[in-house]
Chains A and B, each alone.
Chain A
Amino acid sequence: RKEVEQDPGPFNVPEGATVAFNCTYSNSASQSFFWYRQDCRKEPKLLMSVYSSGNEDGRFTAQLNRASQYISLLIRDSKLSDSATYLCVVRGFGNEKLTFGTGTRLTIIP
């Protein structure tokens, strides 16, 4: 079983729609959680950290459920510029490395 699992998609969503991505992680000792965004042939860039209380940044909302070892990302009012691959990322306690999911590919359709 992979440490971080995501639905690879692709998700093809009309502009203005709401889209949700889910991710599960296997290591219950994981401490930090993130969503990164990666454009085609570019490096990953931090989209947002994910906290147990949930957090929101404009049109983006992230949630963490530690009991179910589940992370989600919600994008509201999607824009063409949201087209990218979204990577679910986990870091363990006292472990410096980041563990990435395979990514979920999102295409926003005009």
Chain B
Amino acid sequence: DTGVSQNPRHKITKRGQNVTFRCDPISEHNRLYWYRQTLGQGPEFLTYFQNEAQLEKSRLLSDRFSAERPKGSFSTLEIQRTEQGDSAMYLCASLRGGAQETQYFGPGTRLLVL
């Protein structure tokens, strides 16, 4: 257990529905990252926060995706109008600060869109 928690761990939804995932980073970590991993692939970067500021967004993050970190602590990732191609593992990672430090990953939220 790295200390990064994610909820829910699994989510099954029907196409067109909205879903929201939550990540609670390690408490003293000011940087938080979201990645997506599909079967047989490595994780792909989606977005990153330093405290409450969203500093970078991947082109993978379409306008159906939105992420927030309102108080610089936990973060949410919302997917609107889900599509079957959104089925993946959504991973959150955090680190304390300083580019050389290690990112610690949470257990992920596995999304299945029917």
B107 and A44 contact, CB distance less than 8 A = no
> Which one, A56-64, A66-74, A95-103, is touching chain B?
A95-103
CA gap between A8 and B33 in the complex, in Å: 25
CB neighbours (8 Å) of B62 from chain A are none
Question: Interface extent on B, as a size class?
Answer: 20 to 34
| B25 sits at the interface (CB 8 A) | no
B100 and A45 contact, CB distance less than 8 A = no
Number of A-B contacts (CB under 8 A): 55
CA gap between A42 and B4 in the complex, in Å: 13
B42 and A45 contact, CB distance less than 8 A = no
CA gap between A8 and B41 in the complex, in Å: 9
Number of interface residues of A (CB under 8 A): 24
Residue from A32, A42, A45, A89 within 8 A of B99 (CB atoms): A32
A98 and B99 contact, CB distance less than 8 A = no
Binding site for B on A (CB under 8 A): 4, 8, 31-32, 34, 41-46, 49, 87, 89, 91, 94, 96-103
* 14 additional contacts (CB under 8 A) given A42-B107, A97-B33: A32-B99, A43-B2, A43-B105, A45-B2, A46-B102, A87-B43, A91-B99, A94-B99, A96-B48, A96-B56, A98-B33, A98-B35, A98-B43, A100-B43
